A and B are shown apart, each in its own frame.
Chain A
Amino acid sequence: MQLTLWTYEGPPHVGAMRVATAMTDVHYVLHAPQGDTYADLLFTMIERLPRRPPVTYTTFQARDLGGDTAELFKDAARQAMARFNPAAMLVGSSCTAELIQDDPGGLAQALKLTIPVVALELPSYQRKENWGASETFYQLCRHLVHNPATASETADKPAKARPTCNILGPSALGFRHRDDVKEITQLLNQLGVDVAVVAPLSASVADVQKLAEADFNVVLYPEIGLAAAQWLQRQFDQPYTKTVPLGSHATRDFIAEVCTLTGLPQPAQDPSNAHAHWYAKSVDSTYLTGKRVYIFGDATHVVAAARIASQEMGFEVVGLGTYSREFAREVRDCAKRYGVEALITDDYLEVETQINALQPELILGTQMERHIAKRQGIPCAVISAPVHVQDFPARYAPQMGFEGANVLFDTWVHPLMMGLEEHLIGMFREDFEFHAGAAPSHLGSTRPAAENVAPVVAAPVSAPVATPVAAVALPTAPAPTNTLTTDSVQKVAAPAQTASNQATWSPEAEKELGKIPFFVRGKARRNTERFAQDQGVATITVET
């Protein structure tokens, strides 16, 4: 059993729903109790889909359990078939149905439907959402893809003028998948490559059947598309791209990879809309140099973000991690390149602890990191799912390709103060509007509020857990405020310390601290406190 307050990923059948909902004529019959229909609202509300996800739930109840839940499933499948008339059906169990051990695959077979039926085995107690999406797409490919040889031999087609590829991985509820597909399709078209099929997003069953006819595959999201791409390579000798075109450098590498695969000439220069590279070089960006950044999210976006942060923005990557256990090795390798240890976890409290210890100046993460950052008054940008409704924007906002690089530059830099602004604020530090206590306007009033409230709230809450043993056993204590968590981090660092050994700040020293620019203040405070502890100093004065 695992104590959980917040999860980065849903159960695997939600991943299957993401594939079914992405496609145009697939229906998913899910053996699940009443209540599991909640997942519909992820699609209708967060992604704002104007239609219901193509999912029929058996919605069995307690009174059905003694009876024939298998018959219930067969009825649901029969009715879904009659009502929705899909071109293929997915059948499977949610976590509860997995326990009652009806066999949706066998039951659906007994119905002798005239369409392909793909039975999904999604182990809910071991795997999660992305794995579920990947497995579903892979199984769909295995059941549906036709052998291209028969097609091309019978039809006497003229030699193809342009090479073709498929785009694999985009799905429903994917972070910016809609616009990434558009951006990469344009990019490929400009190179001279036609996109045959995009799947699963907006693909039909007939489209998936034709996957093997293209010359190669573009894997945009390995979390969802890689397993299918590898199978297509094994089965049909169809190569796939290894580079995910996130960031200017990676986009260039991606272009080179596509050109190598197709023998097309490589374009001499970037397109005219590639602004990010020049923006990063402009003098106003000098202040970005060495900003300490922490990165967390799904594996693909984290690995890419680390490269962009380091090579294209000139940040220093001080920590990174992922909740995608399936890609832990890739993320660990990536972390090594930046001389840090990767954090592989799906427990947001561990992420919060690490962020606290590192005191970065910018956090690139998911919805959860956005809130951790808000509590701590650290600027933050969202780079990966899980995301909320505001990250399914109405405007064009890809992450991939050259336009994606532009979007990333703006998104990451906005929460930071730009050079000229930061310089002016430094100059007018004591001015009423720009004094040290004033938060950057984009952070609202969270910072001063947090700093004022912190000591008051932290004292009574931290007192009962003040014994070092408890604190060490629970380094991930929930933090209503910034200070409490910082406490617990320090207790981990120095287990012999108790709360009463904490150094206090003299008013003059606090004032001195205020002169330090806000973006390094947290670190300065922490370092000074640690120094004070080591020296056994109880009150921190200006001399300390």
Chain B
Amino acid sequence: MFCGLTGIIWLHRKIQDAFFLVVGSRTCAHLIQSAAGVMIFAEPRFGTAIIDERDLAGLADVHEELDRVVGQLLARRPDIRLLFLVGSCPSEVIKLDLSRAAERQNQIHHPKVRVLNYSGSGIETTFTQGEDACLAAMVPGLPASTDSAPALMVVGTLADVVEDQMRSLFDRMGLQVSFFPPRNSQAMPVVGPNTRYLLAQPFLADTARALQSCGAQHLPAPFPLGVEGTTAWLQAAATEFGVAPEVFEQATAAPRQRAEKALAVQRQMLQGQRIFFFPDSQLEIPLARFVHRELGMDLVEVGTPYLHRQHMAAELALIPAGTRISEGQDVDLQLDRCIADAPDLVVCGLGLANPLEAQGITTKWAIELVFTPIQGYEQAADLAGLFSRPLKRRLKLAA
């Protein structure tokens, strides 16, 4: 499994004036480089301050070193308004106090740049949990809401195209909605006791807790994957804000029918196929629910790195009783189970995909499910396509 640093790769695309500075080792820099692929060449808004032996010799001048590196960075990137100091395993093990460092940088660079910190280390976070830590770090700085009327907030990074679709659906229901994280650090949404929030992503435990402490209230719902998930997710907001059933129907009927029609094609390919999920992103349970209920796939095992029972309650209710769900991982034991079960399709990381294919097991690499727009009605068939493509390919090459 990846560590939380990987979240930087999609977060920096979302918040367009933010820079993510990892304080870590060469390994961290190498990890991000390997995970980011060609993106690394596009002058991205992330980098690593590599700790060297001089920094390890004594803690005294680490903060001065950080001053220098941050100064160097901000001079080079004058467009940056929000800087995240991202903790890593090495910075945490040497107990480098990044929250104090962030405060200090805030004083130096105020008011032009705001500096926040969070941990993306492997010892604390798994893959998408990095986004959770990042958003949770932003919550205390959100402007307090002065309005007393209830307001809707969608929490979790969505691709811009998905965000636009969701906004227009809520518009048609007559609901005003804010999105968190915002596309620009200067346009932070307000939060307060009147805020009702929907989670767009399943991996936001800490962010939800932080929002809760601002008085915001969670609207429990399945996640907006597939037609069923999207409808239920929208319905949760509609119910809370008293949208009339016929208004809801009018707003959602057309895209829902389009998506159902497109899904029917995919279902022919996938019906009855047995699927096995290795843990990766916490998206596994909602995805399993989608492929089972809307595509007719059989669930062999659903692995997830971390299971938040409360946030996942609505999803678990839709999963057939007795489904093998595993939290965390012992990779060797899980591989044994996987090979013994001989599923038709395995969702796993890139480290396992080719080795499993070489053993004759068809795979779908999981990270694509995080980087591709998959939420909402219009993307439902695309999402199904991600699962059917490897199977189609296997058939083609075998012919």
Contact = CB atoms under 8 A, between A and B. Distances in A.
Given A4-B29, A5-B44, A34 B51 contact: no
Interface stretch (A43-51, A245-253, A262-270): A43-51
Given A2-B50, A10-B26, A95-B90, A35 B40 contact: no
B161 interface: no
Contacts of A14: 27, 30
Contacts of B33: 6-7
A96 B28 CA distance: 10
Nearest to A370: B41
Nearest to A41: B350
B92 interface: yes
Interface in B9-28: 23, 25-27
A45 B350 contact: yes
A474 B66 CA distance: 17
Contact of B53 (A33, A126, A470, A473): A126
Given A2-B49, A3-B47, A60 B65 contact: no
B354 A44 contact: yes
A11 B43 contact: no
B30 A35 contact: no
A125 interface: yes
Interface string A375-386: 000000000000
Chain A CB within 10 A, most for which of B65, B79, B121: B121
A61 B123 contact: yes
A36 B30 CA distance: 10
A39 B65 CA distance: 28
Interface string A357-397: 00000000000100100000000000000001000000000
B124 A62 contact: yes
Contact of A65 (B29, B123, B353): B123
The secondary-structure label for the interface of chain B is helix
A14 B34 CA distance: 12
A51 B358 contact: yes
Contacts of A3: 47-50, 69, 72-73
Nearest to B119: A62
A95 B1 contact: no
Interface in B44-59: 44, 46-53, 55-56
Interface stretch (A201-209, A332-340, A475-483): A475-483
A504 B79 CA distance: 26
Contacts of A52: 351-352, 355
Interface string A218-244: 000000000000000000000000000
Given A35-B122, A83-B332, A474 B75 contact: yes
A124 interface: yes
Contacts of B339: none
A33 B350 contact: no
Nearest to A84: B332
A445 interface: no
B76 A478 contact: yes
A40 interface: yes
B47 A126 contact: no
B93 interface: yes
Contacts of B66: 1
Contacts of A48: 354
Contact of B34 (A9, A42, A49): A42
Interface in A58-76: 59-62, 64-65
Contacts of A2: 49-50, 52, 69
Contacts of B46: 5
A128 interface: yes
B399 interface: no
B35 interface: yes
B68 interface: yes
Interface in A15-59: 33-42, 44-45, 48-52, 59
B12 to A, nearest CB: 12
Interface residues of B, number: 62
Interface string B59-78: 00010011011001101111
Contact of A1 (B52, B77, B123, B349): B52
Given A3-B73, A99-B93, A11 B25 contact: yes
Nearest to A43: B351
A100 B90 CA distance: 9
Contacts of A4: 26, 29, 47-50
Nearest to A55: B351
Contacts of A470: 75
Interface string B341-375: 00000000111111101100000000000000000
A499 interface: no
Contacts of B4: 35
B89 interface: yes
A37 B351 contact: yes
A244 B93 CA distance: 43
Given A6-B40, A7-B33, A96-B25, 15 more contacts: A1-B66, A2-B69, A11-B30, A14-B27, A39-B34, A44-B355, A50-B357, A51-B355, A62-B92, A65-B93, A95-B90, A99-B56, A124-B27, A461-B79, A474-B76
Interface of A: 1-7, 9-11, 13-14, 33-42, 44-45, 48-52, 59-62, 64-65, 79, 83, 94-96, 99-100, 123-126, 128, 368, 371, 388, 461, 464-465, 470, 473-474, 477-480
14 contacts: A3-B49, A4-B47, A7-B26, A34-B126, A36-B3, A38-B34, A38-B351, A45-B354, A49-B355, A50-B358, A95-B26, A125-B53, A368-B41, A464-B78
Interface of B: 1-5, 23, 25-27, 29-31, 33-35, 38, 40-41, 43-44, 46-53, 55-56, 62, 65-66, 68-69, 72-73, 75-79, 89-90, 92-94, 121-124, 126, 332, 349-355, 357-358
Nearest 10 pairs of A and B residues by beta carbon: A35-B122, A35-B3, A50-B358, A40-B351, A96-B89, A95-B25, A464-B78, A41-B350, A33-B122, A371-B41
